[in-house]
Amino acid sequence: MIDIATRVHNRKWKIDPIIRSLLDTDFYKLLMCQSIFKNKPNTKVTFSLINRSDDIPIAKLVDEGRLREQLDHVRTLRLTRGESTWLRGNTFYGKKQMFRSDFMEWFENLKLPPYHLERIGDQYELSFEGSWPEVMLWEIPALSIIMELRSRAVLRDMGRSELQVLYAQAMTKLWEKIKNLNNLGQLSIADFGTRRRHSFLWQDWCVQAMQEGLGSNFAGTSNCLIAMRREVEAIGTNGHELPMIYAALAKNNSELIQSPYKVFQDWQEEHDGNLLILLPDTFGTKNFLENAPPWMSDWTGIRVDSGDPIKSAKIAIDWWKSRGQNPKEKLLIFSDGLDVPKIKELNNKFKNQAKLAFGWGTLMTNDFRGLVPDKALDPFSLVCKATAANGKETVKLSDNPNKAMGSKEEINRYKKIFGDGEQIKIDLVV
């Protein structure tokens, strides 16, 4: 494995830009991008950086010049021949040629659009505008860059030996987590930690450790570049931006209330099997499922991504039963702020009620808590979300109001249309 401490200490190495490839992104972004390229290619969107942990002064921690340098570098990247061959020829989720030729030709010639960056007090205003298929691919690189620049700023004054001790401690910490998970028996755990990782090199090490330590319990990684290099499964389905933007494009309230279902109607035209996963919490899980058309209960599973995961899982199981489905044949994917205690609790609670999978994110790829003073490397909640579509504001209600997005007026309008649901405020760690 790579000597991470030496690479971090030797900061002049040109082989360590933060984003090395357009494939250094989550697999679900590419799946969604292909769907959008087919169904909504001319939609104009804005994606914006949102720091949910506003007590973290990003602009004081991350130098603007270094941030611009890394963002500019991303705009120079193009798919290599090998990367294109991997996407065109590999089998994903049991399907060959997942990515169509017209999409691949477009992607092979893609240059990410310009960005807007401005310092506002101790925070950065960072946004991207343009066509939806292009702009959406900024989300993961933008987050990864800011998180790693913050890590580099904290580590900059450490000597090589101090860095070696730090990374040895972090490796030991992760390995203990992996051993703890292995004691649970059969599991399905994937790396979902790209967007808020400590660094690319650290995520790559974490994936290798999970491969070695979890064996068949390790399902794969959401990171396409690491999946290609380490020859593991690329994992991912769909995200909140689809219903958020479809909803913003609705011309009236009738179209608005049907927009989340239109998302999955378009999705199933080109995907099947384990890619038929519902993400129901954008405008409230309970109301979404209660009003879902009959065909949706035939889908493979549901991803639980906000609110109380136990309550959300129970809602999903009860919904399957009410639709005449056997929950034991369905897949529940948990992906919100997971760490070992929560994974163990959810596994013990639901392992006999449904098939389970876990997307382990930030607290796997960026858990340096307690290893440096003053919580200087603690992870925090940073997102880059779609905030407008064709000039109209986007909204997210979520099952956790701390994750809600949009103006107060629009949030209230959406609540009147979709219902308040059963929102439960849960503190955001990541």
pLDDT value at position 258?
Answer: 97
Give dist(CA 356, CA 181) in Å, integer: 14
In tens, the pLDDT along 57-73 reads 999 999 999 999 999 99
In tens, the pLDDT along 185-208 reads 889 999 999 999 999 999 999 999
Say if CB 389 and CB 45 are below 8 A apart: yes
Q: How confident is the model at residue 10 (pLDDT cuts 50, 70, 90)?
A: confident
In tens, the pLDDT along 14-36 reads 557 999 999 999 999 999 999 99
In tens, the pLDDT along 307-334 reads 999 999 999 999 999 999 999 999 999 9
> Domain residue spans in the chain?
4-418
292 pLDDT above the threshold of 60: yes
Distance (Å) of CA 358 to CA 92, 304, 351, 373: 19, 10, 12, 31
Tokens of 284: 């409230």
Orientation angle between helical segments 340-350 and 160-182, nearest 10 degrees: 10
Say if CB 385 and CB 47 are below 8 A apart: yes
Which residues lie closer than 8 Å to 303 by C-beta, 6 or more apart? Answer: 237, 277, 278, 279, 333, 334, 335, 359
pLDDT value at position 232?
Answer: 97
Q: What is the mean pLDDT of the chain?
A: 95
**How are beta strands 91-92 and 95-96 bridged, if at all?**
antiparallel
pLDDT value at position 421?
Answer: 63
In tens, the pLDDT along 381-405 reads 999 999 999 999 999 999 998 899 9
pLDDT value at position 422?
Answer: 65
Arithmetic mean of pLDDT, 340-345 = 97
Q: How confident is the model at residue 351 (pLDDT cuts 50, 70, 90)?
A: very high
Tokens of 65: 């010049």
CATH 3.20.140.10 correct for 4-418: yes
Distance (Å) of CA 80 to CA 77, 83, 100: 9, 5, 17
Q: Which of 1-10, 186-195, 312-321, 362-371 has the lowest mean pLDDT?
A: 1-10
Tokens of 161: 């030996």
Tokens of 160: 């090589």
